[in-house]
Each structure stands twice: as C-alpha cells, then as structure tokens.
Amino acid sequence: MADNDSPDQRKRELLAAVAAATAANHRQMALQQQHMQQFQQEKQQEREDQQREQQQQEQEQQQKEQSRQTNGADSRAAADNGSAASTGEDAAAAATAAAIQTLKPVTHLKFLEKLYAITHGDEDLLRSVVNWSEDGTTFWVSDLDKFCKHVLPRFFSHNNYASFVRQLNLYGFRRATESKGKAIPGQPSVERFIHPKFIRGRHDLLSQITRKSQAKRKSDQDSRKRKADGDECASDGFNRAAYDEQFQVLLGQHAQIQHQHTQMQAYHAQMQALHAQLQTQHSQLQVSQLEAEVKQMRGELANTNKLLDSLFGLLSQQQQR
C-alpha cells in the first residue's frame, strides 16, 4: 500500500508543482498585459492632454479676439455716452456753446494765423480765456477748461491742450521763466509762452516764425542731451574718454554674449529633438519587449499544457493497468 502511495504521492506533488507553475505563469502574463494596457492608457492620456491644451489655446485666442472686439464696442459706447453727457450740461454752458456755434470756424488758417486769431480775438469768449503780459511779449491761458471745450475745437478740430503745446514747441515757443500770469479768481492759471517774434499787435512778424524741421528738432534734442550729459559729467569729475572706451568694450562683450546665446539656443533645439527621438525609440523598445515576453510566456504555457496532457495520459494508462 505504501509502495502504491509513494508513486501517487509523487504524481500529486508533480501535478501540484505544475499547477503552481501554471498559475504563476498566468499571473505573470496578466501582470504583463496590465503593464501593456497601462502603457497604452498613458499614451492615450498624453494625446488627450495635448488635444485639450491645443483646444485651450484656441479658446484663449478666441477670448482675446472677443475681448478686443468688446473693448472696441465699449470705447465706442463710452464715446457715445460722453457725447450724450455733453448735451446734458447746465443752462449756462448750453448758452455758451450756442454762442460759440454762431462764430465762424477758422480751421482753414495755418497754425500761426490761428494762434494770432486766438490771442487777438475781439469775442468775449477769447478775451476771457487768453491773457497777455503788460509788455505784450508773453501770453497764457487763464481758463483751461473753457479753452479746451470751446476754443480748441473751433480752431483745431480737437480739444487736446497737450497737442496745442506741442505745436507751440514746434514753432520755437518756450515757457517763460517769469512767474505765471494772474488768472481770474477761482480759475487756474497755466504757464506763460514766449517767442521773440510773436508780439501783441505785430502780425507782420508772423512770416519770420518758422516751423522746426524733423532734423532740427532731433539736433536740438541731441544738443540738449549732450549738454545735460556734459554738465553731469563735469559736476561729477567724470572722465568722458575713459567712459566711452569702457562703453565700447561693453558693447563688444554684449555682442559676444548674444552670439553665444544664439549658439546655445541652437544646441538646445538639437538636444530637444534628440530627446524626442530617444523617447520614441524607448517607447517602441518597451512595446517590443512586452510583446516578446508575452509571446515567450504563451510558449511556456503551451509547453506546460502539453506536459499536463502527457501526465494525464500516463495517469490514465496506470489506472487502466
């Protein structure tokens, strides 16, 4: 009985070992398949993330375009509201505007003619906003608000006081160094303007006032800048020649750094391309390895199944005996 049990015991142990090996192979195959599925899911997730990022960029671009259109519409609406608000002034302002409309526009005159008309006008409005010094060499605007609302639009088709001042500067007017003129009580005074050829009552001198050319304006600006730099250097005891030499050295170093930066950018682009190529090769290698392992495990499983069939055949033959 013991002899019969001994072969049976060995057979049972062999069958248990085969079953354990088969179960292990199944678990390993399942794990490999799980890894492959996880890898494929990660790739799919990466593609979906790229698509979402692209869609988000397109949406942001559309939102910016809509924002620009909305801002343009708001600007037009604000302009319309401002125009509507201007119609709601009090009775005194409305009366002043009506009086201004009765004056004949003079936008056809040149700037100097317009300036002379503004400073020598007989209308009460002009006399109330523009004042001359006693010697007739300087003038100033005593009511800036009324000047911008009613005088500038009549003569220049705009209400920008800064633009009016820039025109004065282009024709050689400068701000007077003496104190500001007396303004009407309750109204702010502004800086005086002076020109050696713009004098009260001297219309004949207008032809001697010329507009600065662009080259002349740039030359004046450069001259003022050089003078300011020279004054600053002289006050600090600065060596201009040494400064210029050092500046040229720094310019050369800056050019070298820019060249190196360009080379580094090109090298970085090459590294990024190589990295992308390596990632692709790595992904392909992982897939190939997984497929090879699955194929090998399937072969081992087939061999195990054949061994089991052989064992079951042996058992059947012994039982028949």
Tokens, residue 124: 């009460």
- pLDDT score at 92: 54
Angle at 288 between CA 287 and CA 292, to 5 degrees: 120
Ordered strands of the 174-175 beta sheet: 130-132, 138-141, 193-194, 174-175
* Rounded-to-integer distance, Cα 186 and Cα 239, Å: 52
At 83, the amino acid letter reads S
Instruction: List the structure tokens of 52.
Output: 């979402």
Residue 141 to residue 173: CA distance in whole angstroms: 14
| Separation of alpha carbons 321 and 315, rounded Å | 10
The pair of structure tokens assigned to 182 is 């007396």
Cα–Cα distances in angstroms (integers) from residue 101 to residues 63, 92, 97, 104, 117, in the given order: 45, 14, 6, 8, 17
pLDDT on residue 235: 47
Contact in structure between 112 and 206 (CB atoms under 8 Å): yes
Q: How far apart are CA 43 and CA 287, in angstroms?
A: 12
As to burial, measured by CB atoms within 10 angstroms (0-12 exposed, 13-18 middle, 19+ buried), residue 138 is buried
The answer to whether 168 and 152 have CB atoms below 8 angstroms apart is no
Distance CA 200, CA 132 (A): 8
CB 293 within 8 A of CB 32: yes
Q: 192 exposed, middle or buried (CB, 10 Å; 0-12, 13-18, 19+)? A: buried
Residue at 97: amino acid letter: A
Q: Which of 175, 196, 200 is nearest to 116 (CA)?
A: 200
122: region left, alpha or beta (phi > 0 left; psi from -120 to 50 alpha): alpha
Mean pLDDT, consecutive 10-residue segments, the chain of 321 residues? 58 73 73 71 73 72 74 61 50 54 54 90 85 90 88 87 89 73 50 90 91 66 60 54 81 87 88 86 84 87 86 81 69
